A = this chain, B = another copy of it.
Amino acid sequence: MEDRFKKGMSILSITNGDKIEEIFKELEDIAPDLGRFIVEFPYSEIYTREEVDLKTRELCTVAALTALGHATPQLKDHIGAALNAGNSPKEIVEIIMQMSAYAGFPAAINGVMAAKEVFKKRDLLPVE
């Protein structure tokens, strides 16, 4: 058990170390195991697999969350993680724009607005 948790945390330390600590804190007094599940299942079991690199995995997650449209806080977290995993702001914006074809313009615009917020905090605007 311990090992799975460590394994997941080693990925999260690259992609989204601060955010997971925030999530742990938020869940502490209501659903601490949900935080543990996130580390132990997707991060430990999936993101550690070598068939696809972290950079591509995070970009695909940004694509999916943009398309789903209802998970803005997590979309922002994964836009940050996508940057941390080595994607450029331009690459992230490209994939969000691409979602207009699969989930419509509202989802794409809202995705770009989420990216704008993340990029602004990191002083990455304008994207060129």
Q: Which residues of chain A have a CB within 8 Å of any CB of chain B?
A: 23, 26-31, 33-34, 37-38, 40-42, 45-47, 49, 51-52, 56-57, 59-71, 73-75, 88-91, 93-110, 112-113, 115-116, 119, 125-127
Contacts and interface: CB of A to CB of B under 8 A. Distances in A.
Contacts of A102: 61, 64-65, 68, 71, 74, 104-106
A115 B102 CA distance: 18
A32 to B, nearest CB: 9
Given A29-B116, A73-B110, A102-B105, 6 more contacts: A29-B125, A30-B126, A42-B100, A61-B63, A74-B106, A104-B104
**Copies of this protein, total:** 6
A105 B61 contact: no
B125 A46 contact: no
Contacts of A41: 37, 41, 45, 101
B30 A103 contact: no
Given A56-B56, A110-B73, A64 B31 contact: no
Contact of A64 (B30, B51, B70, B103): B103
Given A57-B95, A61-B98, A95-B52, A103 B68 contact: yes
